[in-house]
A = this chain, B = another copy of it.
Amino acid sequence: MNPSTARLLISCPDQRGIVAAVANFIAQYDGNILDADQHTDRDHAEFFMRVEIDAEGFLLNAANFAGAWQPLADKFRMRWYVHWAHDTRRMAILVSRMSHCLNDLLWRWKHGELRVELVAVISNHPDLRETVESFGVPYEHLPVTSATKDDQERAVRALLERTGADFVVLARYMQILSPTFVADYRNRLINIHHSFLPAFAGARPYHQAHERGVKIIGATSHYVTDVLDDGPIIAQQTLPVDHRDGVDDLVRKGRDLERLVLAEAVRLHVEDRILVARNKTVVFQ
């Protein structure tokens, strides 16, 4: 399904000769560079690179890449990973009651726009079972109360492990995850927040926005960190509003933003286009 490519992501201290070294390495193993992008953070002298290599004809593969590559990585003190596009990622979705982001992801997945295996949708509410199962996707209802919070999270994690989920999308999941969960899924938990962060973090951002009388609303997708609504921002979009828009209108208009921004963030993640450093993202389009 996916075109067969290797996506190599690198970050390391900036220094001369990195591009040549990487390009030579690839050429040495008969790799054809389909796409390459790089970025230098001059403030911190850090170099970032994404290379997409045609797997066709490339003499390296998932089994032997690391062995060949590691000496070069060591020399340049690289953090790196390679992902082979045919090795489709496994996605789980956590959701509560609101279905707009969920439905959007389901549609994109079903129609091949989102190239993942969708292993499970997990919710603390029963409401969306029928929707999810109509797409042929397993729906797991794991209810939660303040008393059962820890147990429920354990059940969620057990399910993620059992289904082999590589990453998790919080499609308006209204529960705070524990620091351990967040740490274990670092840069693999994608959340959508319904404001242009850092404005209106926390609860009821459309109410806050209405109260403040802003003329634009926004939505923000970010990796989850320990600090609420403070993780590395992946994507944001905004939309004009005016005095005629009540909170309900902001909610309605905002739903469209949330759908688009979350779907974009998931796409970028799935296509290995994101590197994280210093709580910020480098997004190679």
For residue A43, CB closer than 8 A to chain B, the reply is yes
- Residues in chain B near residue A255, CB distance under 8 A: 113
Evaluate whether A243 and B27 lie within 8 angstroms (CB atoms) in the complex, with A33-B19, A218-B216, A256-B260 already known: no
Evaluate whether A233 and B215 lie within 8 angstroms (CB atoms) in the complex, with A27-B17, A40-B35 already known: yes
B35 touches A252 (CB 8 A): no
For residue A283, CB closer than 8 A to chain B, the reply is yes
A233 touches B260 (CB 8 A): no
For residue A64, CB closer than 8 A to chain B, the reply is no
Q: Which of A210-268 contact B (CB under 8 A)?
A: 212-216, 218, 232-238, 242-244, 246, 252, 255-256, 260
Q: Which residue of B lies closest to A51 (CB)?
A: B19
B212 touches A198 (CB 8 A): yes
For residue A62, CB closer than 8 A to chain B, the reply is no
Evaluate whether A27 and B20 lie within 8 angstroms (CB atoms) in the complex, with A216-B238, A256-B260 already known: yes
| Consensus secondary structure, chain A interface | mixed
For residue A103, CB closer than 8 A to chain B, the reply is yes
Copies in the complex: 4
A39 touches B107 (CB 8 A): no
For residue A279, CB closer than 8 A to chain B, the reply is yes
Evaluate whether A16 and B40 lie within 8 angstroms (CB atoms) in the complex, with A213-B232, A233-B213, A238-B196 already known: no
Q: Which of A37, A213, A236 has the most CB of B within 10 A?
A: A213
Q: Which residue of B lies closest to A15 (CB)?
A: B32
B40 touches A37 (CB 8 A): no
For residue A180, CB closer than 8 A to chain B, the reply is no
A214 touches B233 (CB 8 A): yes
Q: Which residue of B lies closest to A199 (CB)?
A: B199
- Residues in chain B near residue A200, CB distance under 8 A: 198
Complex Cα spacing A282 to B213, Å:
9
A39 touches B236 (CB 8 A): no
Residues of A within 8 A of B (CB): 16-17, 19-20, 23-24, 26-27, 30, 32-43, 99-100, 103, 107, 111, 113, 134, 196-200, 212-216, 218, 232-238, 242-244, 246, 252, 255-256, 260, 278-283, 285
CB-defined A-B contacts under 8 Å, sample of 11: A16-B27, A19-B33, A20-B23, A20-B24, A34-B40, A37-B37, A42-B246, A213-B232, A216-B236, A216-B237, A256-B260
